[in-house]
Structure 1
Amino acid sequence: MTVFLRTERLALRPFTTADADHLFALDNDPEVMRFINGGRPTTLEAIRTRTLPRLLHDHPCWENRGFWAAEERATGAFLGWFEFRPLDDNDPATVELGYRLNRASWGRGYATEGSRALIDKGFTELGVESVTANTMTVNAGSRRVMEKSGLLFLRSFTGDWPEAIPGSEHGEVEYLLTRADWQRRRPGDAEGASE
């Protein structure tokens, strides 16, 4: 299978319909889904009819996907997924960054490693001008990954939750990284090196 991106420890590849069982296991871990839907279970039917079509969508501006299955290079184990998709199907200027990894992957730096690699690829190869990401205000782990990946806090806001979950009363946060900010922070850049 074609790999979209390799890092030191990760391989990011396009999803296939054969990933349904991996996604089912991932989305049925209450801790993984705690800040997504409050930890409620997902049916295999929902994975096949709602989740997979979204993950298999090709974006015309890239002629490629916006969601990538993450595997550990050393073992081939499925770890979860990364989102790096244009907000407008026909314009790669602004992309949304996201990640959902299984609990066994937490605390190992995979989310930051994959996010940084996607950001670098976006700015160097894909015509990206800005990367945005958001999460619940109380999701400290996800916020740390955003910050370690170079994104800067932009704003707090209150979204419309179809069904309130614990912590949603505190609202959400949005982070942003522009091409200009990314360039200033690149290794070897005099200004970025002093930070």
Structure 2
Amino acid sequence: MDTYLETERLALRRFTAEDADLLIELDSDPAVMRYLSGGDPTPPELVRERDLPSVLAVYEKWGGDLGLFAAHEKDGGAFIGWFCLRPERQGPPDEAELGYRLRKAAWGRGYATEGSRALLRKGFTELGVRMVWAATMSVNHGSRNVMEKLGMTFAHTLPTPDDMMMVEGSEHGGVRYEITKEQWERQ
């Protein structure tokens, strides 16, 4: 495994063209997809033809330093999900989105905080990132708690995208959290 980043318990690596089945399995769990699609799985053909090629293209654009990274437990090698640190498509390269999607079996074990903390450190100390933001649905208290543990602060509310209007809790909209390099350094 070509490791991109290691934490105490996790190894993060770049996805490869052979990883479609990992993403398909992750996105087929209704609990994982609850706040993304109302629990509907991502169709396998979309993962293969749209999502995975998009993930690989981001590595090309940013030299493999930014993007979506497969996360595995160091003890046993189990795939637990992914983490991302990446600029928006047309956004400034020094502002990056932090995100994660973990298998239900990995929930409640501190992995989201551990992996995200390592990506923040790498972004701020090695990759020239100035500000990191993350967004989730207002009702996704698990993700909001992770963002707060990372020292991110609430920035503003977000409207619910039209394609998510049928998701439970969508009437409450979303939230955006942010942290700057200076705020991170003061922690």
TM-score category, normalised to shorter length: over 0.9
Q: Which residue of structure 2 lines up, in the alignment, with residue 53 of structure 1?
A: 53
Alignment partner of 1:79 is 2:87: no
Aligned residues: 185
Letter in 1 for 2:144: R
Structure-1 separation of matches of 2:105 and 2:177: 26
Letter in 2 for 1:37: S
Q: Is the Cα–Cα contact under 8 Å of residues 58 and 67 in structure 2 kept in the other structure?
A: yes
Structure-1 separation of matches of 2:103 and 2:37: 16
Structure-2 separation of matches of 1:167 and 1:90: 28
Unaligned runs of 5+ in 2: none
Unaligned runs of 5+ in 1: 186-195
Q: Quick check: which has more Rg, 1 or 2? A: 1
Structure ranking higher on relative contact order (CA contacts 8 Å, 6+ apart): 2
Q: Is the Cα–Cα contact under 8 Å of residues 55 and 67 in structure 1 kept in the other structure?
A: yes
Change (3 A) 1:38 1:159: same
Deviation at 1:88, TM superposition (A): 4.8
Name segments (4+ residues, structure 1) moved above 4 Å. Answer: 88-91
Q: Deviations over 1:35-85 (max 9, x none)?
A: 001001222211101110122123567411400000001111100000100
Change (3 A) 1:72 1:89: farther
Deviation at 1:169, TM superposition (A): 0.6
**Aligned residues: percent identity?**
54
Q: Which residue of structure 2 lines up, in the alignment, with residue 67 of structure 1?
A: 68
Q: Is the Cα–Cα contact under 8 Å of residues 93 and 127 in structure 1 kept in the other structure?
A: yes
Q: Which residue of structure 2 lines up, in the alignment, with residue 162 of structure 1?
A: 163
Q: Which residue of structure 2 lines up, in the alignment, with residue 39 of structure 1?
A: 39
Letter in 1 for 2:147: M
Q: How does 1:101-112 map to 2 (within 5 A)?
A: 101-112=102-113
TM-score (structure 1 length as normaliser): 0.90
